[in-house]
Each structure stands twice: as C-alpha cells, then as structure tokens.
Amino acid sequence: MNNVPQGNQPIFIMKEGTERIRGKPAQSNNIAAAKAVAETVRSTLGPEGADKMLVDPSGDVVITNDGATILNRLDVEHPAAKLIIEVSETQEQEAHDGTTSAAVLVGAILERAEDLLDDSIHQTIICRGFKEAHDLAKDELATLGWDATEEDLTSVAMTSLTGKSAEGAAEVISAMCVEAVQTIGDEGTLDDIMVASFSGGTYDESALIHGVLIEKERAHSEMPASLNDAHVLLVTEEIGIKESKFDTTLNINNPDQVKDFLAQEEEMLKGMCAEIISTGANAVFCQKEVDDLAMHYLAKAGIFCLKRVKKSRMEALKKATGARFVNGLEDIDPEDMGLASSIEEVKFGDYHCTVLKSDRTTSVTAVLRGSTGHSLDEIERAWDDAMGVVFLSARAKKLVAGGGGVYAHLARHLRLKAATMGDRKGMAISAFSDALESIPKTLAENAGIDPVDAVLALRKAESADYGINTQGDVVNMRDAKVIEPHKVVWTALGSATEAAIMILRIDDVISMKAGDGGMPPMPGMMG
C-alpha cells in the first residue's frame, strides 16, 4: 500500500498485498457478515425451531438445533462473524442458554443500524442511541420478574428442553435437574453434578445416581463386587515396577538368573501390596496402571481396586471420601485413607460401572441414555442447557416469562421513551426497540405464524408476562409455565448490544497477509 505526495515518489506504508476497506463499504461488509451468522441460527430459535446438520471435513455428522453447538462448529474467517460467535460463547458461559437469541439480536440491531446509516445518520450518534437504549432497557428489565419456587425450577427445565430432540424425556430430565440442584445444596457447584453417557437405551431410561459414578469395573474378577463402610486409598502413581528411563542391558548366563530376577520383581510387587494391606484399606482407586500380579495379591486380600481412573473422578473421590492423594506407596500414612458408606458395581446395558456413596458428599451423577451416538450427543447438550438454567435459577432466584414477552415489553417501553425525544438519538432508540421485537417475530415465523400479526398482538399485551404461544395466541406465559432465568435475557441484551456497537464503530478494515512481500523499509519511510 502506498501514498503519493505531490511531485514525489510513492511512500510505502504497508507491505505489498495488504488489503484495506474504508468507510461505508467497510461498515456494510462487517454488518453483512454479522447478519449472515445470525441468519444461520435464526431458524433454530424457539420450540418449533428447525435442526441443522453439520458435517465436518472428516465426514462426522452432528444434527442439532442448539445455537451454541452450531456457532462453535462454524469455521468462519470474517472477523465480524467471529465477534458474533464470541457473543454466543459469552452467553453460554454466563447464562447456559439463550445463545441463539443473543445472535439473532445482534443481527437485528445491526440491520436496523444499516437503515439509519442509509439515512445519513452518523455512526457515533447511532452508537450513543443504542447505548442509551440498552441502559433504559436494563433499568426496565431490573423491575421485571419474580422469585423462583421449586415448581418453577421444573418449568424452567421444561422450557429449556422444549423443541430439542430430547423433548420426549423432558419430564424425566427436568426432575433429574431439580433433584440434582437440591441434593448438592446451596454450597454445591456444577462440578458436583457429574455426567456419564451410555448408548443402547432410550432417553427415559436416564437416571440420577447419588454418589460418584466411575465408568470402570473392578480390576480383577476375584475382587469383591461391593463393599460397605469402605476404607479408601487414592493412588496417583502406577502400582507396579516402574520402567527405567535409561536403556539397560542384562547379561544372563543361565536360567537361574532369570528366575532370580523374576522372583525379585515379584517380591517388590508383594511388598507394595503389603504396604497397602497394612493400612487397613479395602478399596484402592489408582489413576494409572496396576500390574497384573499386584491385582492378584490385592484380590487375595479381599481389596477392591479400580485402575486408570480419570483425574476428574479422582478429584471427586477425594472430595467424597476425605482421602488424600498418595503419590508413592513407600510412605503411605493411615491418615491418607478416606471413608465411603458403600462401593458397588452397577450395569447400564453392556457397560459396567462402579458407584461410590459417602455421607461426606452431596455429589450426584446424571446417567444419560440414548439409542445411538447422535441421540446421545443431543441429550448431553439438552442436559447441559437444562441443568445450567435450573442451577442459575436456584442461585439467582429471579425468573421472567418466555415466549418473547419480555423483549416485546422492553420494545414497547423504549418506543415510548424515543417518542419524547424527537432527535436522531431518539431514532436510534426507536430502531433498537424494533430490533428487540425480532425475538418474538422469529419465534412466530418458526412456528408458522404470521410474524406481523404476532408482534402487533404483543404490542397490546397487558404485561411482560404475556408472550406468543405456538398457536399464535398471546397468553400469560407464567401461567403456562413457559419461563426462563432473568439472567438469560439480561446477558443476551448486554452482550448483543456491546457486539453491535463494536462492529458499528469500525470504519477501516486492514487485512495483513503473511510473508515478506513488498519493498523493504527505507530511511524516512513509515514502518
């Protein structure tokens, strides 16, 4: 790229091959990219939303209507499009649901902004208007909603599951979510709610297990299949003879030397097992491998053992039993042991597992079942969303009605504010209110309802509790038990507005290419 001062040679500012788009074309390009991403997930919004089939380069197929999954799997290059995906990631992390709504909202805000730009309203004024509209909407949103009850938690889960492939098991999963939150208590976290998935079953065979479930069976068939009042040892190192890090050579001159060598190894393994037995432990969970001969000695001593236990499950076992991690068998202390009220082998279809229960822990494990790999993936995604919003509702307490009623109410509120201004900023606020109505409009479109009629009907609604149902009627969504966490709307509104303003403020896109193209900088030139 170069600049040519009058009467002088070109001054090279950027490397050859650098692309630059400025002004209105840059804005239009960014807005178009963001709208394209929003349009990708728009048809998945709501209980009647369509599914998407995603095929990756290796041929793996994912069928889902989960907005977060779709956006995360999109391989996009445009920087503005990546911003929309970041919005969905923020929404997923903060509110566990509403990713599609957030993306649709960004696209709608930018579409209205484009109309204002076409009317020669400066981007700075538009951004100020959108920021004020956001603040006014947040102030009004803070006055909406009610505190969650136990019955509401079930409705929140049901609302989240509606329209998903796992909807057929909505009652089972909703009950599991509520029970899980109640079991872990006020001090529990989502890490205390573990998940194990097994194919070969149906959605309604899913169940909640109280305790820590490990997808492993006992290491030796002669070990006990169940224990009560178990003394637990958690070993993080291999139970066996460690391989030397250096290449070694053994000179063997006769068979007796081989026997002596094997006997020495056997004595070492027997000594390791004796260390374990001497502590009084009758259950050993090892994060790494356990030697076959060591398993034999442990089985003879009536000790239950699992090998190659995942680190996450080892952490859960530590919390559940109060045991300490043992790094080496040479210095085991009886105080390293923990206690479990019971350890038992269970079976889900063809899968053998172990369940540890303890009076010390409130941890639970959701066992999810699906007939195929695709259906299992979908119920996992549905569980994550439902569990997330139930946990959020139980902690934050505050809920609002679904069906697009809150967005329609906020749009009505902003439109009244904009009418009192009568300036360009008021036009931006009015445009923002139109963008908010894109949520109920999209819900209506996806349900096969005339979107204009739906929005006009919602504008006459009595309160934010009224939304549009799948038949096109405006009903009290709180009474219909279609509800969601207040934070889902709060987060979507904030992240969508921030992303839209960020994109609008860009008037220059500089794309730098890799490599050393162009002239080398000369004295007096800009780098």
Give the pLDDT confidence of 80-109 residue by residue, as tens digits. 898 899 998 889 889 888 899 999 999 999
Tell me, yes or no, whether 13 lies in a domain.
no
Contact 338, 234 (CB under 8 A): yes
User: Quick check: 298 and 355 in contact, CB under 8 A?
Assistant: no
Same-domain status, 384 and 474: no
- Asked if residue 217 and residue 194 are part of one domain, the reply reads no
Poorest-confidence range of 141-145, 267-271, 286-290? 267-271
pLDDT above 70 covers what percent of the chain?
88
User: What's the pLDDT at 256?
Assistant: 57
**Residue 72 is assigned to a structural domain of this protein:** yes
Contact 52, 7 (CB under 8 A): no
Closest by CA position to 432, among listed 129, 128, 142, 143: 129
> Does residue 2 belong to any structural domain of this protein?
no
Active-site residues: which are they?
A: 66, 99-100, 385
**Is the Cα dihedral 417, 422, 425, 427 positive or negative?**
positive
Judgement on whether residues 221 and 343 belong to the same structural domain of the protein: yes
Closest CA to 145 of 396, 322, 379, 369: 396
Nearest partner of 333 among 235, 254, 214, judged by Cα: 235
291 and 164 in a common domain:
no
pLDDT digits (tens, 9 = 90+) for 3-24: 555 555 555 566 665 666 777 7
| Span 372-389, average pLDDT | 90
* Three-state SS letters, 288-310: CCECHHHHHHHHHCCCEEECCCC
Q: Are residues 142 and 29 in the same domain?
A: yes
Report the pLDDT averaged over residues 419-427.
89
Q: pLDDT: is 24 or 366 the higher one?
A: 366
pLDDT of residue 518: 46
Question: Taking 70 as the threshold, does the pLDDT of residue 155 lie above it?
Answer: yes
Q: How far is CA 238 from CA 2, 307, 518, in A?
A: 64, 9, 57
519 within a domain of the structure (yes/no): no
* pLDDT tens profile 196-234: 999 888 888 899 999 999 999 999 999 999 999 999 999
Q: What is the pLDDT of residue 12?
A: 53
Structural Rg of the chain based on CA atoms: 31
Q: Which is more confident, 102 or 1?
A: 102
| Residue 487, pLDDT above cutoff 90 | yes
461 falls within a domain:
yes
Question: What's the total number of domains in the chain?
Answer: 3
Helix (H, G, I), strand (E, B) or coil at 313: helix
Instruction: Tell me which amino acid residue 293 is.
Output: L
To the nearest whole percent, how much of the chain has pLDDT over 90? 58
Asked if residue 479 and residue 430 are part of one domain, the reply reads: yes
Looking at the structure, tell me whether residues 479 and 392 fall in a common domain: no
pLDDT of residue 166: 81
Residues 218, 345, single domain; the answer is yes
Confidence of residue 472 (pLDDT cuts 50, 70, 90): confident
Helix (H) or strand (E) holding 12: strand 11-12
Range of the domain at 270: 212-360
Other CB atoms within 10 Å distance of the CB of residue 68? 25
Whether residues 311 and 350 fall in one domain:
yes
Q: Are residues 269 and 190 in the same domain?
A: no
- Whether 516 is covered by a domain: the verdict is no
153: CATH: 3.30.260
Together in a domain, 354 and 220: yes
CATH code for the domain in which residue 140 is found = 1.10.560.10
Least confident of 55-59, 193-197, 315-319, 406-410: 55-59
Are both 392 and 408 inside the same structural domain? no
Per-residue pLDDT tens over the stretch 126-144: 999 999 999 999 999 999 9
Residue 159 CB burial class (10 angstroms; 0-12, 13-18, ≥19): buried
What is the model's pTM?
0.82
Which CATH number belongs to the domain containing residue 316 in this structure?
A: 3.50.7.10
